[in-house]
Amino acid sequence: MVLTGTVGWLASFQLTVDDWRLLRDPAHQPPCNISPVVSCGSVMSSPQGSLFGFPNMLLGLGAFAAVTALGVAVLSGARLHRRLWLGLDAGALVGVVFAHWLIGQSLYELNKLCPYCAAVWGVTIALFWYVTLHCLERGIVPVPRGVLYVVRDTHWMLLGAWYGIIVLLVLTRFWPYWSSLV
């Protein structure tokens, strides 16, 4: 939680700083505008970048700060109440669904790949996966024992496959561009 929260907060913070710079100076080129495909500026200024009427990265600043604080509390020996774990898992589920919607929008509507956004996607998936695994192992979310054993024993392979599918989607979506680089 501390690692995913910190990385997610830093990526959200960088996106926020770049977004504010773009608001002040529309000619500003964020450092993540690397190529015609790898670009943050156009993603941030798109309607998808402010889905709820304000920049999405502000959601990340608040959510990842809370996750980091809870992670520090757990590392310090705090025992979180079952309802708090359920709330954290539900919030992570909402986050991972939103991240996957943003992945689809980025790849198939905006035709851009934002590296900071991709970092947020990655840590959101890991956060959801490991909070859910914790909730399953502790019986906070009941699941049949056989399912628990399979998920627990293969958790790293399942997470790797999840990331692998996203990497394959990115590679295939922008294959003409990637292949022109080699």
Give 17-74 pLDDT, tens digit per residue. Answer: 999 999 899 888 899 999 999 999 889 989 999 999 999 999 999 999 999 999 999 9
pTM of the entire predicted model: 0.94
Q: pLDDT confidence of 182, banded at 50, 70, 90? A: confident
pLDDT for position 21: 94
pLDDT for position 86: 98
pLDDT for position 163: 98
CATH number for the domain that contains residue 48: 1.20.1440.130
Separation between Cα atoms, residue 74 and residue 64, nearest integer Å:
15
Whole-number mean pLDDT of the chain?
Answer: 95
**Whole domain around residue 9: which residue ranges?**
2-181
Alpha carbon separation from 177 to 40, 105, 111, 139, 163 (Å, rounded): 17, 18, 11, 47, 21
Q: Does the pLDDT of residue 181 top 90, yes or no?
A: no
pLDDT for position 48: 95
Quick one: average pLDDT of 152-180? Answer: 95
Q: What is the pLDDT of residues 118-162, one digit of tens each?
A: 999 999 999 999 999 999 999 999 999 999 999 999 999 999 999
pLDDT for position 159: 97
- Structural domains counted in the chain: 1
Answer whether 43's CB lies under 8 Å from 106's CB: yes
pLDDT for position 83: 97
